[in-house]
Chain A
Amino acid sequence: MDRLPPPSDEFESLRRLLTLKRHEKPPPGFFSDFSDRVLSRIAVEEELRTRSWSTRLADWLQPGRLFAPANALAACGLIFVGAGLYLVLSGPKSHPNTSVVVTQPGPAETRAAGFSVPPPAPPLEQYIVIRLAPTVQPDAETNDIPKDLFTLPRLRSVQGTPAFSPKMVLDHRP
């Protein structure tokens, strides 16, 4: 297996070429703090090693660490329960028209589930009549608006169709 070394001049050119590698050096100052870096790493490793297994076990068994998953699950559960209760309790009350809608015919499964379907939007004319008539009440004592300004005959006379006036919509939309 072992072979005799070749004559020294056989690889002389190669050997001289390889000696050029000796000129490759690290950046200047690299070795000035090299041993300090080594000793720092030794200090860190020693500190890690000197921590006994019981210390590491105690760290691992910290209550916060052990119960972190349980706490996260409990928090998620509380959020879900709270959101569910909010939907169940506050949902119907926030839609006063629900009673009207539920009585309308609709998909059986929707009614069985207790969900309400918002009523279809009324025609614009109906909207104006229904919403403006009871809410817009010109006060003769505080305003100078003529008393007959909002009467239906006058509206009809403007557009020719019952209760439609773009100007009224713009001025008094709730």
Chain B
Amino acid sequence: MVAALPMDLPADHAVPAHVPPMDLADRDLVRRAQAGDKSAYDDLVRRYQERVYSTIYHMTSNHEDASDLAQDSFVRAWSALRSFKGDSSFYTWIYRIAVNRTINFLKQRRNRTSHLSLNDLEVGTENDPEMVELVSHKTPRRDAALSELHQRLNAAIQKLSEEHRTVVILHDIQGLPHEEIAQILRCNPGTVRSRLFYARQQLQAWLSDLMK
């Protein structure tokens, strides 16, 4: 069974759906995968593929890059699976691999033109209550087309440094708690909060006209 995605969580909070140190099902799957059972690893991949892909996608704003990096993250995780001691959850561990891999990729890509792909915007966005509210009730935003809104949003997120972008994506978009993000990034929760505050300030300044 696939775990509930952060995307499905209520919008009013970045939930902490607590992620236990290691889910029992995960523990069993990891143990079997460490013994070379590829079907167990296949289950692990299916379990976390959407969250890993989604995080990478928001960091890169490019579907092809996200697809390649997500696959690469799972391949690397398989190679390093024997060294996984279970100190953290598999979920945290695979996130850490994916985020580090993506940050390295972004640093290499920094000089390239970033490609913002908005073609994958889900049609359901237009029916989202928050979206409807944003574009209808708040007068200044009424005229902003959905695509333009996403474009502005993506462009603003891409302007953040990799570290700040990662924190915003993991917390405000993926819904991970500060402690979980701190484990993924191997820093303390205070640093996560600090980065989040700074990143939000920057985003707010860049997107102020959309939020008045």
Q: Are A18 and B172 in contact (CB under 8 A)?
A: yes
B52 — nearest CB in chain A belongs to which residue? A34
Q: What is the minimal beta-carbon distance from A132 to any residue of chain B, in angstroms?
A: 77
- A56 contacts partner chain B, Cβ-Cβ < 8 Å: no
Q: With A16-B130, A20-B128, A27-B63 known to touch, is A41 a contact of B75 (CB < 8 Å)?
A: yes
- One of A7-15, A98-106, A133-141 contacting the partner: A7-15
Tell me, in angstroms, the Cα distance from A94 to B44 when the chains sit together: 81
Q: What is the minimal beta-carbon distance from A45 to any residue of chain B, in angstroms?
A: 6
B204 partner, pick from A2, A11, A30, A34, beta carbons under 8 A: A11
Tell me, in angstroms, the Cα distance from A6 to B173 when the chains sit together: 18
- B155 contacts partner chain A, Cβ-Cβ < 8 Å: no
Q: What is the minimal beta-carbon distance from B181 to any residue of chain A, in angstroms?
A: 13
Q: Are B71 and A31 in contact (CB under 8 A)?
A: no
Chain B residues numbered 109-127 whose CB sits less than 8 Å from any CB in chain A? 118, 120-122, 124-125
Tell me, in angstroms, the Cα distance from A14 to B125 when the chains sit together: 17
| Number of residues of chain B lying within 8 A (CB) of chain A | 55
Category for how many chain A residues contact B: 20 to 34
Q: Are B150 and A24 in contact (CB under 8 A)?
A: yes
- A37 contacts partner chain B, Cβ-Cβ < 8 Å: yes
Chain A residues numbered 154-171 whose CB sits less than 8 Å from any CB in chain B? none
B45 — nearest CB in chain A belongs to which residue? A35
- A121 contacts partner chain B, Cβ-Cβ < 8 Å: no
Q: Are A39 and B38 in contact (CB under 8 A)?
A: yes
Interface 1/0 per residue, B113-152 and A, CB below 8 Å: 0000010111011001011001000000000000001100
- B105 contacts partner chain A, Cβ-Cβ < 8 Å: no
Q: Are B153 and A2 in contact (CB under 8 A)?
A: no
Q: Which residues on A sit within 8 Å (CB–CB) of B31?
A: none
Q: Are A13 and B211 in contact (CB under 8 A)?
A: yes
Total contacts A to B, CB within 8 angstroms?
Answer: 122
A19 partner, pick from B41, B66, B173, B194, beta carbons under 8 A: B173
Q: Are A21 and B173 in contact (CB under 8 A)?
A: yes
Q: What is the minimal beta-carbon distance from B146 to any residue of chain A, in angstroms?
A: 9
Q: With A11-B204, A17-B210 known to touch, is A24 a contact of B71 (CB < 8 Å)?
A: no
Interface 1/0 per residue, B149-190 and A, CB below 8 Å: 110011001000000000011001100000000000000101
- A38 contacts partner chain B, Cβ-Cβ < 8 Å: yes
Q: With A3-B193, A27-B120 known to touch, is A22 a contact of B63 (CB < 8 Å)?
A: no
B122 partner, pick from A1, A5, A25, A38, beta carbons under 8 A: A25
- B19 contacts partner chain A, Cβ-Cβ < 8 Å: no
Q: Are A24 and B121 in contact (CB under 8 A)?
A: yes
Q: Are A34 and B71 in contact (CB under 8 A)?
A: yes
A49 — nearest CB in chain B belongs to which residue? B79
21 intermolecular pairs with C-beta atoms under 8 Å apart: A2-B191, A11-B204, A14-B203, A17-B149, A17-B210, A18-B168, A19-B172, A20-B149, A20-B150, A21-B157, A21-B169, A23-B121, A23-B125, A24-B122, A26-B63, A27-B120, A31-B50, A31-B53, A34-B49, A35-B42, A38-B78
Residues of B within 8 A of A (CB): 6-7, 11, 38, 41-42, 45-46, 49-50, 53, 57-58, 63, 66-67, 70-72, 74-75, 78-79, 118, 120-122, 124-125, 128, 130-131, 134, 149-150, 153-154, 157, 168-169, 172-173, 188, 190-191, 193-194, 196-197, 200, 203-204, 207, 210-211
Known A-B contacts: A18-B203, A20-B128. Give 5 more (CB < 8 A): A2-B188, A11-B200, A18-B168, A22-B6, A26-B57
Residues of A within 8 A of B (CB): 1-6, 11, 13-27, 30-31, 34-35, 37-39, 41-42, 45
